[in-house]
């Protein structure tokens, strides 16, 4: 059974991919905190509840995707577009402070974003684990005192 056929599991997978991409962008910002002229970047925010609705077909009654999408046939295959498939490209941050050297990275803000990203990733991992536990119980292979 492909777990991504379950809308919530697919949404959790997409959220993990976005958080991974966001961590990469944040680490690039921190690494370039002293680079003259470097502009801090960020990913477009992801609406998780909208993502779940989109995957479950709740917004329009059912899924209506006419675009052809590349698919993997085995869990060991790489996703089309590499590991960050489905993650939007980073764009320059707007309304950021700029140092006299032209660098717009504020290290304290980036570190707070990293901590927030880490907490969100931990939450998604816990949701994934809980759902896997529920699926195991439903299949008769989980806890339940057996």
Place of tokens 């990293």: 114
Indicate if the pLDDT at residue 64 is higher than 60.
no
For residue range 111-146, what is the model confidence (pLDDT) as tens digits?
A: 999 999 999 999 999 999 999 999 899 888 766 554
Least Cα distance to 27 among 132, 115, 129 occurs for 115
For residue range 45-62, what is the model confidence (pLDDT) as tens digits?
A: 887 667 667 766 654 444
Report phi then psi at 127, rounded to 5.
-60, -40
Query: pLDDT at position 129, please?
Result: 94
Query: pLDDT at position 65, please?
Result: 43
For residue range 4-35, what is the model confidence (pLDDT) as tens digits?
A: 788 888 889 999 999 999 999 999 999 999 99
In this prediction the pTM is 0.68
Rounded Cα distance between 20 and 121, Å, is 8
Query: pLDDT at position 91, please?
Result: 72
For residue range 73-113, what is the model confidence (pLDDT) as tens digits?
A: 665 565 554 454 555 677 776 666 788 888 989 999 999 99
Rounded Cα distance between 106 and 65, Å, is 41
Rounded Cα distance between 82 and 77, Å, is 10
């Amino acid at each position: 059974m492909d777990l991504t056929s379950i809308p919530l599991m697919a949404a959790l997978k997409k959220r993990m991919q976005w958080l991974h991409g966001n961590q990469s962008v944040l680490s690039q910002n921190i690494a370039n905190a002293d680079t003259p002229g470097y502009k801090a970047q960020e990913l477009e925010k992801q609406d998780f509840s909208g993502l779940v609705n989109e995957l479950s077909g709740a917004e329009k009654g059912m899924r209506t995707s006419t675009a052809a999408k590349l698919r993997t046939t085995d869990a060991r295959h790489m996703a089309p577009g590499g590991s960050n498939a489905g993650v939007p490209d980073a764009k320059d941050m707007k309304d950021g402070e700029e140092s006299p050297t032209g660098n717009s990275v504020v290290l304290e803000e980036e570190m707070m974003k990293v901590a927030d990203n880490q907490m969100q990733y931990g939450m998604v991992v816990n949701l994934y684990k809980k759902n896997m536990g529920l699926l195991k119980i439903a299949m008769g292979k989980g806890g339940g005192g057996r």
